[in-house]
Amino acid sequence: MIDVSCGTLLIAEPFMKDPNFQRSVVLICEHENSAGSFGITINRLTKDVLGDYLTDFENIRLPVFDGGPVGKENMHFLHVRPDLIEGGKEIAKGIYWSGDYASAMHLLNDHAISINEIRFYLGYAGWEKNQLKEEMKEKSWMMVDAKPSIVFHKNPSQIWKESVKQMGKEFHPVIHYPLDPSYN
């Protein structure tokens, strides 16, 4: 079993009741046992597009994801193009969080970067000191290391299932569990 760290994918256990995280996958961007944790939910697509939020870039039709229940006034982005977007933090091999925002916007506006290379998230998931540790003890989350093929999956509705598959064949039956175990 891996320890929670920057670059860990937290996969909501199949029967999680919290509607903010049912069948969610959260990419941990910062994790410190003494301070808490910060992550972005990567599989909750909204009906919004980036141009809905940016008056100078109304023509950018890139989808926006619900990054989590905290800080809905904050927009975050993940990308795989550090060669084009400087200043991002590599949080897992080939996955970068943030960077030069103006460059990212101009690259999008000029169609120099694609939907498969950058994603935008409104809000985030956060845990206070020891809160995530307690949730891990309660087995609220399963974990795998993040990979660009999961974080930037072409079908966001499949990210939870694909993340579970990364855990190994013994976990594949979990994919078919109902949301409510009483339906079994």
Alpha-carbon gap, residue 113 to 96, rounded angstroms: 14
Cα 48 to the chain's mean position, in Å? 17
Q: Quick count: other Cβ atoms within 10 Å of Cβ 57?
A: 14
Residue 70 counted as domain residue = yes
Residue 143 counted as domain residue = yes
**What would the two tokens of residue 82 be?**
């550090």
| pLDDT band, residue 2 (cuts 50/70/90) | low
Check if the beta carbon of residue 105 is closer than 8 Å to that of residue 8.
no
Alpha-carbon gap, residue 23 to 26, rounded angstroms: 10
The better pLDDT of the pair 126, 171 is held by 126
Rounded to an integer, the average pLDDT of 100-125 is 94
Residue 140 counted as domain residue = yes
**What would the two tokens of residue 76 be?**
């975050």
Burial (CB count <10 Å: 0-12, 13-18, 19+), residue 27: buried
Residue 51 counted as domain residue = yes
pTM above 0.75, yes or no: yes
∠ Cα 99 147 61 (to 5°) = 55
Tens of pLDDT, residue by residue over 47-77, are: 999 989 887 778 888 999 999 999 999 999 9
Sequence-distant (≥ 6) Cβ neighbours of residue 153 within 8 angstroms: 159, 162
Residue 1 counted as domain residue = no
Res 184: pLDDT: 54
Residue 42 counted as domain residue = yes
Alpha-carbon gap, residue 177 to 141, rounded angstroms: 15
Residue 2 counted as domain residue = no
Residue 1 has pLDDT above 60, yes or no: no
Q: What's the domain range around 37?
A: 8-76+120-183
Tens of pLDDT, residue by residue over 114-131, are: 888 999 999 999 999 989
Rounded to an integer, the average pLDDT of 25-43 is 92
**CATH number for the domain that contains residue 17:** 3.40.1740.10
Res 34: pLDDT: 73
Residue 107 has pLDDT above 90, yes or no: yes
**Nearest to 104, CA basis, from 125, 124, 118:** 118
Tens of pLDDT, residue by residue over 6-20, are: 999 999 999 898 999
Rounded to an integer, the average pLDDT of 85-101 is 97
Looking at the structure of the chain, the number of domains it has is: 1
Residue 53 counted as domain residue = yes
